Structure 1
């Protein structure tokens, strides 16, 4: 009866008697992610992507160039005519030019568009790499959250053991007072109570360490009476939705866009231009004086040297894609292998839990019989302690296996990404 009252108090009364903090595993995931220092990179990546796209877009704006040159040449153009009373001045061999040019691209094969798209995909790749790193936080939170749960369950069970031993001690003290039992029988139970107290002290210290580490991750103090809600055990899903798969897809898009940009760069370019300058000679090649000039029109250019490396660069991109495909296949193979092992672990723990409950039923009956026998003086206190510890071990095994099942389910969800 006392055990029922104790469990009722811990499970039903305590949560409502005090305004306790409640934490779920999902809330811990969210808070840990928002508190993790790496999260600051998300804003930096977004800004970097925006700047890169903006810079790529400026390739479509009018381009301004300023240039100049001073040359000396071995010969100049001369007019082979000689007329009386008319002298045609010979051009100077030292010539100078200072000019400025504005050009506007009419067609460049789509280079600017592909460059913008490449910067966009690059930014998304970096963002997804960050998501992959942040996803690994879930494993750490699982360890701390379920470790804290297990320790609390073990403390509760240890308190129940104390009650059983204290009950036995009360009975044996009555026998000692009546002269039907030796004082040493009581000492055996008192020593066992002290051992149980030691165990509780150790568990409380371990629980405090777990809570402190969990609090650091979620940036929130986790008090001793905070309630950690056990997640519902769900049917494991075999579908894989890991963030790494999204990263592989984005990296494949990066290769596709890089191929399109490579093709765009080997196409011809057409642009409008206006150039104005000052030099000697200007546009009039027969006048050997400094003068201003301007010229405008449509310009066509085609860098044929791009064809020299085009095929090799395509092959490099193909090799990158093949390597990426191999990485993805390896990741999926290892993930499916791990999921298979975790499915086996979940099934094993479910079967163990069913057996644990049967063992507890039997051990409880044996302990109750031992309690009556202790009161009647037909067994020693050592025999009673042995039966109490046997039931305690059975209950500890159940607590351990139930927590291990929660951990195994959480690991399965982590591995599958669900």
Structure 2
């Protein structure tokens, strides 16, 4: 993406002022903070940490002595015999059945870094699990933002509809006075009354939609947004950065780190392992293989093990990890291109909305003058109610379009923040 395309400018959007019953206010940053305390996904992160520490504790056990109790009873088809006759000497023949009860103690001295690699893999795995939770939460935050702007849009529409309803009531009152005086046809007043009822229908439809949006927000944040709540349009500066730092983007670095650590673990797996051991036991025979008596015994020693040939299994695993890293890089490049396209599209949309708002203001100004003139002509009976309603509805649509464009402008900036992974503060 080209940083030159990111415009260093700040848009200050007027906070929406709704005709509501109370002064309760709701902000997008406030909802996002409430979500952090309410959303059950945050509990997953704590549970993931618990699993991590339990696994780390198990890995540390590798450095501690291992104690095993073993019992063994065997029968063999043949035994060692000394068939050389020697005067005065009798060499007993061992029994075919043998019995042993031993306690074996082993202590790892050096494992070529295998245990250290296990610790590192567990650390990387923990980061990946935490990132998955962050990505899920981030997606839900975007959902909350979308719902919040939906509430702002419906509240704006309701406000405009109610304002126009008040204006229409004044015209109806004027026409009814003319009807009573016999200078205005009753049909003209009835046409305005029908339009007034249609406004009420639109208000009710928007209220129903608002309720549905508020319930969805409650399920995600635990915040009740009733009809008396006043939403504030976010006022954010357009970012001047082009570095994407979304949680799902960070996943590429974490996955690459995990694969690199796994590759290092393969090397340590092929290293020799040195350990010390001790054994004490009781059995028949003991260490004297020519004895047929039960006896105790003990021995100590050191053991070196080294897998010198694994049929190229480690080499194939190393190649697999390398391929996975290449695939990860391909996906990262594709993500970079997608992020760049989204940022460019958002900036173009922001510029377009800014121009539309400027035009909207001029349109509203002209239509307000036209409606004012039409209202005077309707009162004097020089135009019909249908002509006035045409001007009236044009002004209503223009005002709603202008306010929607302002809300949409703020929403596009917020979406750009989410795309880049930037924090949305008050």
Task: Give the structure-2-normalised TM-score.
Answer: 0.89
What is the correspondence of 1:19-418 to structure 2 with a 5 Å cutoff? 20-73=23-76, 75-79=78-82, 81-236=84-239, 237-306=241-310, 308-418=312-422
Alpha-carbon deviation of 1:367?
A: 1.3
Alpha-carbon deviation of 1:78?
A: 4.4
Q: 1-side partners of 2:93 and 2:223: how far apart?
A: 88
Q: 2-side partners of 1:212 and 1:300: how far apart?
A: 66
Alpha-carbon deviation of 1:171?
A: 2.9
Q: Which runs of 5+ in 1 are unaligned?
A: 1-9
Segment of structure 1 superposing worse, 130-139 or 78-87: 78-87
| 1:308/1:386 CA distance change after superposition, 3 Å | closer
Q: Which runs of 5+ in 2 are unaligned?
A: 1-15
Aligned equivalent of 2:4 = none
Segment of structure 1 superposing worse, 382-391 or 90-99: 90-99
- Bigger share in helix: 1
Structure of greater relative contact order (alpha carbons < 8 Å, 6+ residues apart) = 2
Segment of structure 1 superposing worse, 232-241 or 347-356: 232-241
Aligned equivalent of 2:13 = none
Segment of structure 1 superposing worse, 389-398 or 277-286: 277-286
Q: 1-side partners of 2:290 and 2:265: how far apart?
A: 46
What is the aligned length?
A: 406
Alpha-carbon deviation of 1:348?
A: 1.5
SS of 1:136's equivalent in the other structure is helix
Q: 1-side partners of 2:92 and 2:24: how far apart?
A: 99
Segment of structure 1 superposing worse, 52-61 or 133-142: 133-142
| 1:297/1:335 CA distance change after superposition, 3 Å | same
Task: State the Cα RMSD in Å.
Answer: 2.2
Q: 1-side partners of 2:255 and 2:325: how far apart?
A: 9
Query: What's the CA shift string for 1:225-249, capped at 9, x where partnerless?
Result: 1122211042144321110122221
Q: Is the 8 A contact 2:179 2:186 kept in 1?
A: yes
**Structure 1 moving runs of 4+ over 6 Å:** none
Q: Is the 8 A contact 2:233 2:407 kept in 1?
A: no
SS of 2:265's equivalent in the other structure is helix
Q: 1-side partners of 2:307 and 2:69: how far apart?
A: 22
